Chains A and B, each alone.
Chain A
Amino acid sequence: MKKLLPIVLAAALALGAFMPMLAEATDPMAKYAETVKLTTAKSIGDSLQSFIDKKPDVLTDNIWFNDYRNLFNIDVAYSWTAPSAQYREKMNTQIAANDLPDFFQVDASQLKMLVEYGAAADLTDVFAKYASPFTNEMMEADMRVGLGQSTFGGKLMALPSVGGNRDGSVFWWIRYDWLEKLELKEPETFGEMLETLYAFTNNDPDGNGKDDTVGLGMVKEFITDTFGINALSEGLGAYITGWVGKDGAVEAGTIQPEVKKALETLAKLYADGVLDREFIVKDSSKVAEEVVSGKIGMFSGGHAQAFWPLQDAKNANLDSNWRAISIVSDNGEKPKTMLDGSASNFYAVNVDCEDPEAVVKLYNYYYAKDPALSPDFDFHYHGRLDADPESEITEYYNWAAIASWYPMQNLFIHRGVDSYFNDGDESALENYWIMDNINGNQKYMDGDTSYWSTFGWSGPSDYSGEGRIDYYDKNGMFIQNAYIGAATDSMTLYNVTLEQLRLETFTKIITGESSIDEFDNYIAQWKKLGGDTITQEVNDALK
C-alpha cells in the first residue's frame, strides 16, 4: 500500500494535468475564462454602410459579436474600417507603417509581403488543434486549395476566405434573341461560333437597318475572363495566364502553340470588323456601356456578369435576352475552362497576437452558423428574407469579423433552384439560401424584370451563370491550373515586364501591326526576360 500510494498520486496528478489539455483538444470552441481582446479591420461595402447609418454601433453590437463575447469570451474591436473600394490601398499603408491589428483581411500579394516581413503568425499548429470538424469538412470540399494558397514553405500563414474555385469558370454570354432572330442555332463548335460572330456583325441582328453591331466586344487589357479573350482561347486549349502540365513538367500557358492559334483567329476577326475595331481604347466600363446599349452580340465572362452589366442591359432593353453558353473547341474534344485558387482573400494573424487560436475559433464559428449545410446552421445569423433593405437592417453575415464560405455555395444554390422549378422539389425551400433565390427567380418569372440578375445568375436552366458552371461540372469541363501558389521571387521581379511584353505583342498581332510570326519571337523574348527562371522556380516549388 505504501508503495502504491505515490504511484496512484503521481498518476492522479498526471491525469489532472492532462485532463484540461484533453478537454481543449476535443472542444475547439471552449469558452475562455478571461476575456480575450482582439483587434481587426474591416472593409465596408455600400449596404453595410447603409446599416451603419441606421445603427451606428452595429459593427460591434450584433448577433455575431454578441456571441463572440457571450459564448467564447472574445471581445473583438475594430482598429479601423475603410470602404471596400479603398480597403486594399489603406491596408498597404498600414503594412508599410507596420501598424497592424491582431488579425486582418489581406489579398494574396499582401499576404506574401507579410510573410516575407515576418509580420504574419504561423498558424500551422493552432489550426491543426483548433479547427472544428465541420471547418475541416469545408476545407475538404474545397479540396484544400484555399489552405494550399495560404501555405508558405510548408507553414500555414493565414486562414483562407474560401470562395470556391469553380466560380472562376469562363463562358460566353450571348444575345440569344439575336440568335433566334437570325435563325441560327446555338454554336457548338468553334466554326459555328465564328459563323455566329460574323452574322451578329453583318446581318443587322438588331434590325434597325444600320451597320452598328459587332460580334465580339473586348477591353484593351484583354487577357482576362471578363470582356477578354479567355472564352475564345480556353476553347482552343490556350491558357494564357495559367500553368499547364507537359511531359511531366509544368510550363507557362502563355508560350504554348494553342495561344498562337487563338491570336490568329482574333487577328482575322479584327481585320473583318467582327471583333470591335476600337477595342484598344476601351476599358471595362466602356464595354459594359456598349453591352447595355445593344451594340455587342457576344462577350467572354463569368457568373458575376449577370449582376453587372447584364442587369443594366435588361433594364435598358426588355427584349434583350442574354444567356450563358459553353465555350467551344475546334477539334471535337471537350473544351475545358481553367480553375485557379479558391480564395482571393486571406485572414492573417499578427505575429504579436497572443491568442491566435481565438481567431481560429471565430473562423470555426462562421462555418458553424452561416453555411446552410452546417449542423448548427441558423438563418438568423445570415439575415432576414422579409426585411426591406431600404429601410431595415439585414444581411447579418456582413457583420461577422471573419467570413469564409462553403466553396460550392453558389452551385449548391443553383442546384436547389433547379430542382424546385424543374422537379417540383419543395424541400429546396427549406434551405435559406435556396429559398432566397427561388423567390427572386419567381419574381422575375412573374414579370418583375428588376430580378433578372437573380434569374441570370442562379436560374433553373443551363443558361444562367451558375447553371453553366453546373453544366461544366457535370460534363468534366474543368482543368486545374498547375500552379496556384503565391508569386515566386522571380515572378515579383519579372512579371511586370513580361505582362507588358505579352500585352504589347498580342495587341500588335491582333490589330495586324505585326504578323503572326511575331509570336515565335515573343516566346524567345519571354524566355530570355525571366520566363525561364520563373518556370524553373515553379517546377521546383511543385516538387
Chain B
Amino acid sequence: MAGIQESRRKPSGIRNTSRLADAGIIAAMSLAGLLCLLPIVNVLALSFSSSAAAAAGRVKLWPVDFSLESYKYALTKPQFLRSFAISVKRVGLGLAVNMACTVLAAYPLSKSSRELTGRGVYAWFFFFTMIFSGGLIPWYTVVKQTGIMNTLWGVILPGAVPAYHVIILLNFFRQLPRELGEAAVMDGAGEFYMMVRLYLPLSVPSLATLALFTAVGHWNSWFDGLVLMTSPDNYPLQTYLRNLIVVKNLQTMQTATQAELREMARISDRTLRASQIFIAALPVLALYPYLQKYFMKGLVMGSVKG
C-alpha cells in the first residue's frame, strides 16, 4: 500500500501517456463492462416479454409485449419457492459455520511459531488440502458414511474450513501491528478476548470480503446438491435452476413417448426460465454494491504482507 501511495506523489508533470490514450483505454474498458452487462439485460428483457415473442427470438434488450405472467407463475411454483428457501437457509448456515471456522483457524495460525508450538505443521496441514483433495468418490463416501446425506449439513460440513480463506485472513491478522497485541496482553487480555475484541473489529474489511465470497459460493454451487440430495424436494436453488437450462438432447428425442414430448412442449417456455434465473440472481446482485467498498481493500490487504 505504502508503495502505491508513494508513486502517486511523483511529480505529475511527467506523463508518459497522452489524454487520447487515456480516453481510448476508458472507452475500451467501458465497452468491456457493457458487454458483461448485456446478457443480464437480455435475460431481464426476456423475463418481461410474452412467451411467443421470446420463442420467436424477437426479444433483444427491451421487453416485447410486456407481461408479468412469468413472474406470477415462478413465484407460485412450489418447487421454485422451496428451493429458494433451502438456498437461503444454506447461505445462512454455511456463512455461520464457514466464518467461525475460518476465524478460529486463522487466528492461532497468525501467531509466530514461538507463540504457537508446531505452527508450521498446522499451516502445512491446511495448505496441503489446497493442493490435494480427496476427489469425488471419497467425498461422497464420507458424507454417506457419516449419515449426513440428504441434509443441509452434507453440503456444508465437508467444506466447513475453506483453507484459502484461512490463509487470506491469517495474513491480514499478521499485518496488524504486533504492539497492539502486546499492549492488550499487558492489560491482562487472554487470547480469546484479544481475538474477539481486538482482531475481529480491526478486520472488518477482510471479514466482509470473505463473507461475500462464502455467501456467493454457497448460493451458486449446484453440483453437491445434485449428488448429495436424494430427492428434488431438497435441491438448493441452483441445482433446481440447472434443470431449466440443460440443452435438449436431440439424439434421444425421437424415442421419447408422447407424454414426454408433451412435457417438452410445455417447458420450452423461455420467459419462465428467464424470470427464474433473474429472481435467483437478484440476492447476489443486491449484495454486491453494499459489500463492494470492502472488497478491494480486504482482498489486497490480506494478500500483500505489510
Contact surface of A with B, Cβ cutoff 8 Å? 44-47, 49, 52-53, 56, 78-86, 89-90, 93, 96-97, 99, 107, 163-164, 167-169, 219, 224-228, 283-286, 288-290, 292-294, 302-304, 306-309, 311-312, 315-316, 342-344, 395, 397-398, 405, 409-410, 413, 453, 457-458
Contact = CB atoms under 8 A, between A and B. Distances in A.
A-B interface, 7 closest residue pairs, ranked by CB to CB distance from nearest:
A80-B230, A289-B57, A293-B56, A163-B255, A307-B261, A85-B246, A307-B265
Interface residues of B, number: 47
Contact of B251 (A86, A224, A309): A224
Contacts, number: 144
Contacts of B144: 97, 99
B52 A316 contact: yes
Contacts of A458: 258
A293 B263 contact: no
Nearest to B240: A83
Given A164-B255, A303-B254, A308 B55 contact: no
B115 to A, nearest CB: 43
Contacts of B254: 167-169, 225-226, 302-304
A99 B137 CA distance: 10
Given A89-B226, A99-B140, A312 B55 contact: yes
Interface string B249-264: 0111111111111111
A45 B258 CA distance: 13
A84 B226 CA distance: 12
A90 B247 contact: no
Contact of B268 (A84, A167, A312): A312
Given A85-B246, A97-B137, A224-B251, A304 B57 contact: no
B263 A290 contact: no
Interface in B213-261: 226-227, 229-233, 235, 239-240, 242-244, 246-248, 250-261
Given A45-B263, A97-B141, A163-B255, A83 B232 contact: yes
Dominant secondary structure of chain B at its interface with chain A:
helix
A283 B79 CA distance: 29
A79 B226 CA distance: 14
Contacts of B259: 47, 395, 397-398
Contacts of A309: 55, 268
Contact of B265 (A81, A228, A308, A342): A308
Contacts of B231: 78, 80-81
Interface of B: 52, 55-58, 78-79, 136-137, 140-141, 144, 226-227, 229-233, 235, 239-240, 242-244, 246-248, 250-268
A47 B226 contact: no
B261 A46 contact: no
A285 B255 contact: no
Nearest to B150: A80
Nearest to B54: A289
Contacts of A49: 79, 232
Interface centre among A52, A83, A168, A405 (most CB of B within 10 A): A83
A78 B266 CA distance: 27
A308 B233 contact: no
Contact of A293 (B57, B243, B256): B57
